[in-house]
Amino acid sequence: DTGVSQDPRHKITKRGQNVTFRCDPISEHNRLYWYRQTLGQGPEFLTYFQNEAQLEKSRLLSDRFSAERPKGSFSTLEIQRTEQGDSAMYLCASSSALGTFTDTQYFGPGTRLTVL
Amino acid sequence: AQSVTQLGSHVSVSEGALVLLRCNYSSSVPPYLFWYVQYPNQGLQLLLKYTSAATLVKGINGFEAEFKKSETSFHLTKPSAHMSDAAEYFCAVSVSGNQFYFGTGTSLTVIP
C-alpha cells in the first residue's frame, strides 16, 4: 500500500491554458473522489467515480472542468481555459466501497495550481 | 442540504491542556460524521468517524468525539495536548456516502 499519489505536485500556468492532473489511488480501491481546496477553506467536493463510472458530477464547478477514470484505476482532472480563480489545491481521495457508505477516504498530497 | 460549521478558525492550548474543537452539523437525515487532520504539506488523514453506532467515538492519537443529536454537534476532544497535535482539523458530514461536505477547518496551536 503506497497511498494515493498525485502528479504533478505543483503546476503554474497562464490564464487560458489547459491543465491536466493525475491521481493514482490505492490499488484495491474502487472509489475515487476529487476535491478543490482554497486557502482558508475546507475541501470542496467536485466529483467521484466508482470503478470507471462517474456517478456524481453535478458539483463540478463549470463545464471547463472534466474528469475521467478510463480503466477504473487512475483518474485525470482537466481544467480548460484556466482562470485566476481556479488557483487552488486539488485533492484526490480513494476508498473501498462494498455497498456501504461509511468507507474511509484516503487522501493524496494534492496538486497546487497557480494561474497567472 | 448538508453542512458543517466549525466554530473557531484558530484554537490555542497549552501543552497538556484539554483540546476541544467544535463542530455543528446540519442535515435533514441521520448523518455520518468525520474528523480529519491535516499536517503541513501532508494529505488529510482520518481521525475518527461516526456511523450511527456508539455515540462516543474513539479515534487515533487519543482523540475522541461525541455525537449529540439534540445539539447537532460532533465536537472533537483530547484530554492532554501534545506538541505533535498542532495541525489543521476538519469536520465533515455525509449522508449519501457519495458526497462529503467539509467545514472550513480549525487550526490548532499547542503552546509549550
- Residue A99 pLDDT more than 90? no
Q: How far is it between the farthest Cα atoms of chain A?
A: 43
For residue A35, which residues of chain B lie inside 8 Å, CB to CB?
102
Alpha helices, H only, chain A: none
DSSP A98: S
Q: Give me the mean pLDDT over the A71-100 stretch.
A: 90
**CA-based nearest distance A16→chain B, Å:** 28
> Model confidence over A106-116: pLDDT tens digits?
899 999 999 99
DSSP chain B: --EEE-S-SEEEEETTSPEEE--EEE-SS--EEEEEEE-TTS-EEEEEEE-SS-SEEE-GGG-EEEEETTTTEEEEEESS--GGG-EEEEEEEESSSS--EE---EEEEEE-
Query: Per-residue confidence of chain B (112 residues) as pLDDT tens digits?
Result: 788 999 999 999 999 999 999 999 998 777 889 999 999 878 899 999 998 778 899 999 999 999 999 999 999 999 999 999 999 999 999 877 677 889 999 999 999 9
What tens digit of pLDDT does each residue of A41-85 get? 899 999 989 888 888 777 777 899 999 998 888 999 999 999 999
Question: A1-52 pLDDT, tens per residue?
Answer: 579 999 999 999 999 999 999 999 999 888 999 999 998 889 999 998 988 8
Mean pLDDT of chain A: 90
Please indicate whether, in this complex, the C-beta atoms of A42 and B98 are within 8 angstroms of each other. no
At A100 the pLDDT is: 55
Per-residue pLDDT at B85: 96
Say how far apart CA A1 and CA A86 lie, in whole Å: 31
